[in-house]
A and B are shown apart, each in its own frame.
Chain A
């Protein structure tokens, strides 16, 4: 897909990161050089290469260079502690590490645990001199970052007549089932697993996503989501495929800075998870800005309460808002809600994307009637090859050609799907089954509440009781009784949280998803 875009629009800007830019021609050249170097190391095809980089031009070069060399990319969550990083390196047996020196503080601890690493290729020279490990820098074959353009002369001349343009649908069908990348999940509902995605998984799903978002070379997406997260990876692949521009800004902790970047770079799209939107709506000047170049918002990475979606719709009635659903195991996109139907289908995750089939099934895998709850199951070219080295877990979710997502859902008469909750997030409160999601959405309708998360805790009387942890809006005050009374007016009594706690903030993974496991551990 990179070759295709470089052939069609070589001088188009592929990526911007603060003051740095790179065109498709330069990106292809740099990727080819790094890819050739990786190939020269002599590893067999399919060898795993770990990529530990923050979002940057170097990340993009690294990711595509691994494919160029015929290896398998393993993007690493940069917020993990050294022990978890070493677990991943050992699990996937990565002998090559593409490494950003920003994380050099942790490198000693990573290497102290003897991961299988034999090569470290870093953006700049390391201060550490690791024993028994060969090192190289990007500078060795690309020159200074300011001068990656110097590599442009090394590539084959690209014809300007578009004759190299591929038939992408044919490419998708032709794409092999070979392993392309392993994305380790955050383990937010269990232990971390290496999701194996093939070239076909990624290409087919990328094409489907470009199609419904109507992406073109005119599109410029604001990238705040990490590329090592499957949703961030989707931004990368879709915009490279479309010949668009990736506008990278890693400073979302200061949302005003990112909003300024969006205006300055005239971005046409913004993609976020629910917590990103809540920060923007509650703690930034988002709604006071026109953002005249912005065409669309996309939201995935967990259910966003209808109340929050309404606020976004009211603030930007002319912009398209795409609510989307997916899983790492599905590469990731499963469904999207067409913006023109957002109002009447608010709360829905929409309809399947091209090439994907969805069913709601019972415990036996049999499809349930329309309107009935069951587990969401997915089939298509996007469904993963499996979990790396975890055949039991793989057998549990991949059954008879279908991916069992672990999400409870139902379908309406128009073929639109609604998530009821996570199977693992159903709380059995006093014998009644309660969806944590339903309680969270109820609490979020309270004007005083900025964020809320709900989970089950052990209880002597109920066996399991409902607990809510709430972040109030700035200046707001409330107590447990007030929240419980609010819930009582909207929910059945058995769904009202028995315990309500208030916090300054909710712990989150780097992707922005709430770390419920941490809160549950503190509550036990």
Chain B
């Protein structure tokens, strides 16, 4: 199986974050390494929405103990997490 293209994951996640949590051109100002938590982009309800999106988009399951910042708290972290889960 070909390794997942992390750049494609970054693009798709950025699109989802922009549509769901940001207004105006905030999506363009968001860096791939920016912490969602530090920047107040996603709250405790939003993170569940984000997790559901990742599960649905990439046909994977996120276990409860995987709901941690290292896996989910930035576009970079999400891309790496998806790659590890599918890799």
Q: Please report A residues at the B interface, Cβ cutoff 8 Å.
A: 79, 251-257, 275-276, 279, 283-285, 474, 504-508, 510, 512
Contact present for A254 and B64 (CB under 8 Å): no
Q: Does B59 contact A (CB under 8 A)?
A: no
Q: Given A254-B69, A254-B73, A257-B69, check contact A283 B45 (CB 8 Å).
A: no
Q: List 21 A-B contacts (CB under 8 A).
A: A79-B40, A251-B37, A252-B44, A253-B43, A253-B46, A253-B47, A254-B37, A254-B68, A256-B64, A256-B65, A256-B68, A275-B44, A279-B44, A504-B49, A504-B52, A505-B46, A505-B48, A505-B49, A508-B43, A508-B45, A510-B43
Q: Which of A254, A474, A506, A507 has the most CB of B within 10 A?
A: A254
Contact present for B52 and A254 (CB under 8 Å): no
Q: Given A256-B64, A283-B64, A508-B43, check contact A251 B48 (CB 8 Å).
A: no
Binary contact readout B40-60 vs A (1 if CB under 8 angstroms, 0 otherwise): 101111111100100100000
Contact present for B68 and A257 (CB under 8 Å): yes
Interface residues on B, range: 20 to 34
Q: Which of B42, B47, B64, B69 has the most CB of A within 10 A?
A: B64
The complex places the Cα of A275 from the Cα of B44 at a distance, in Å, of: 10
Q: Given A474-B52, A504-B49, A505-B49, check contact A285 B44 (CB 8 Å).
A: no
Distance (whole angstroms) from the CB of A99 to the closest CB of chain B: 15
Partner pick for A253 among B44, B55, B64, CB 8 A cutoff = B44
Other contacts beyond A255-B67, A504-B49, A504-B52: 5, CB < 8 A: A251-B69, A254-B67, A254-B73, A284-B64, A505-B45
Q: Does B79 contact A (CB under 8 A)?
A: no
The complex places the Cα of A253 from the Cα of B42 at a distance, in Å, of: 8
Q: Does B72 contact A (CB under 8 A)?
A: yes
Partner pick for A283 among B46, B67, B68, CB 8 A cutoff = B67
Partner pick for B72 among A79, A254, A505, CB 8 A cutoff = A254
Contact present for B52 and A256 (CB under 8 Å): no
Within 8 Å CB of B69, what residues of A? 251, 254, 257
Within 8 Å CB of A505, what residues of B? 45-46, 48-49
> Nearest A residue to B66 by beta-carbon distance?
A256
The complex places the Cα of A165 from the Cα of B47 at a distance, in Å, of: 46
Q: Which of B44, B45, B69, B73 has the most CB of A within 10 A?
A: B44
Contact present for A279 and B48 (CB under 8 Å): yes
Distance (whole angstroms) from the CB of B67 to the closest CB of chain A: 6
